[in-house]
Amino acid sequence: MATEFGALFRRVREDLGISMGQVARHLGVSVPYISDVELGKRTPFTNEKIIKAAQLFKMHPLGLLKAAGESRGFFEIRPVTAMHATVGAALARRFEDLSSEQLERIGRIVEEDE
């Protein structure tokens, strides 16, 4: 059964007329691997591969990254600095306890530059 990520990835790829072979070559993986991800037989690609695929698709990667995180049940966080790690860890620890208002405020902060 396809995951949300796999179904979205396939839909975008097919809408753009891009073959699994083209994606596989671009990402440096096999066609069966692409097929397995699209069908939900494998977990979504790493964030790096998703960003690279989004470049091939000429689209912003946010939608694919969000679908991958939801399909995995978690989001990959790779800190850039010690401050990124500290804030990311604090957010992860309290994530389930944040109110809707707090989440909306955080959402506005991170979407300011988009």
Among residues of the chain, what percentage have pLDDT more than 70? 90
In the three-class reduction of DSSP (H, G, I as helix; E, B as strand; rest coil), residue 42 is classed as: coil
Question: CB count, 10 Å around CB of 41?
Answer: 14
- How many whole angstroms separate alpha carbon 75 and alpha carbon 80? 16
Predicted local confidence at residue 32, as pLDDT: 97
- Residues of the chain whose pLDDT is less than 70? 1-2, 75-80, 113-114
Taking each helix axis from N to C end, the angle separating 4-15 and 47-57, rounded to the nearest 10 degrees, works out to: 20
- Average pLDDT, rounded, for the chain: 86
pLDDT tens, position by position, 22-50: 999 999 999 999 999 999 999 899 888 99
Domains and CATH numbers, the chain: 4-72 (1.10.260.40), 82-111 (no CATH)
